[in-house]
Amino acid sequence: MQSPLTSLCEVLKLVKSSAASYREQLQRNEAVTRAVLIDPVLRALGWEVANPAMVEVEKPITANGKSGVLDYHLNAEKPIIIEAKKLGEPLENHFIQLVGYAFTLGVENLYITDGLKWSHYTSISASSQEPAKRIDLGQLEESELSKAAAYFVETLDAALFAPEIQKVEDVFMQKHNDLERKLLEMERVISNLSGGRFTPVAVEPALENIQAPWLLLDGSWDAKRKKPAKLRMPNGHLMDVRSWTQVLTEACKYCLAENQELLLQLPIADRTGRATKLISTTRPPSNLNSDSFVMGENTLYVCTNYSANDCVANAGFIFRKTGETSVKAALLLAE
């Protein structure tokens, strides 16, 4: 069995390799740096970045009378803050930002990193800018990575700092799944007793063959002359929607936020591979309808010049490209 330390060393090697391969993109974009260089290290240390019970990403705060966000707030017994910068950003330029976090939030354990360089502060003050530890993965030989990995395990391992959070989350998810199955079974029983006239409540289906009243984004049904009312994301979040183009835009926004490695693949062609791109950093031609949203430091454009059915098909396509199964993303239509 491979030890956690050995596994982390392998991740650090991959981070160094990724930094060299994608340096140009990473130096332009903090969001990509986080997805490609920082998130893998945190996951290797046991922090589930997509689990807000463990890690609050972009947590809103007020420090020194100014509003801001914490890039990573690790929910340990004593919280740990990690401030992220794009690759190559001078970390020392942001020291005052860390001082604000330390004094406003009373946090003693802070990291700032560009994905390769990591500075760890344990006793921070305006008069002392020297961190407890500096690690520069880019300057370490492969044989030296084990020392860096050991330090990360000692100061950031989720098993040491947040042992109960994982346990509570597992219990909660089990109870949630059990309750969901019971509700779905009750709906089937009531529907049979009422001759099929019962309309189930809008709960997320646990089984792939349960589609009513939700319709899966798999292109197996006709969206013409119908209007969407609610969109259910793979994480269970519900949102009101009024148009098929909005469904497509929200699907693209969700997928890029959940799997930011897709940012390295931009522009992304639609499911037919046509010349006009589904998602791009450049605005589509003026004769094509499009929506836009801001992610990190970039404005991204979604081509929405599609029919209702093609909007549904492309939404399902981007969910599958992200790794999400279509059963998790579904639509409730307006009556």
What is the spatial distance between Cα 118 and Cα 147, in angstroms, rounded to a whole number?
14
Q: How confident is the model at residue 295 (pLDDT cuts 50, 70, 90)?
A: confident
The label of the residue with tokens 């063959």 reads 209
Structure confidence at residue 166 (pLDDT)? 46
Return the percentage of the chain with pLDDT > 70, whole number.
80
What pLDDT digit, counting tens, does each position of 1-36 carry? 445 688 899 999 999 999 999 999 999 999 999 999
**Where is average pLDDT lowest: 85-99, 163-177, 280-294?**
163-177
Q: How confident is the model at residue 110 (pLDDT cuts 50, 70, 90)?
A: very high
Task: Using alpha carbons, list the distances in angstroms from residue 155 to 5, 31, 50, 109, 126.
Answer: 13, 24, 21, 9, 23
DSSP string, 168-236: HHHHHHHHHHHHHHHHHHHHHHHHHHTTT-PPPP----SSTT--SS-EESSS-S--TT--EEEEE-TTS
What pLDDT digit, counting tens, does each position of 183-207 carry? 666 655 665 555 555 444 444 444 3
Q: Do 74 and 82 contact (CB within 8 A), yes or no?
A: yes
Average pLDDT over residues 124-132: 79
What pLDDT digit, counting tens, does each position of 131-150 carry? 999 999 999 998 899 999 99
Q: How confident is the model at residue 176 (pLDDT cuts 50, 70, 90)?
A: low
* Mean pLDDT of the chain, nearest integer: 81
Other beta carbons within 10 Å of 243: 13
Structure confidence at residue 51 (pLDDT)? 84
What domains does the chain contain, in order, with CATH numbers? 4-161 (3.90.1570), 163-200 (no CATH), 202-333 (no CATH)
Which residue type sits at 191? S
Nearest to 302 by CA among 245, 263, 259, 254: 245
Structure confidence at residue 104 (pLDDT)? 80
Structure confidence at residue 23 (pLDDT)? 93
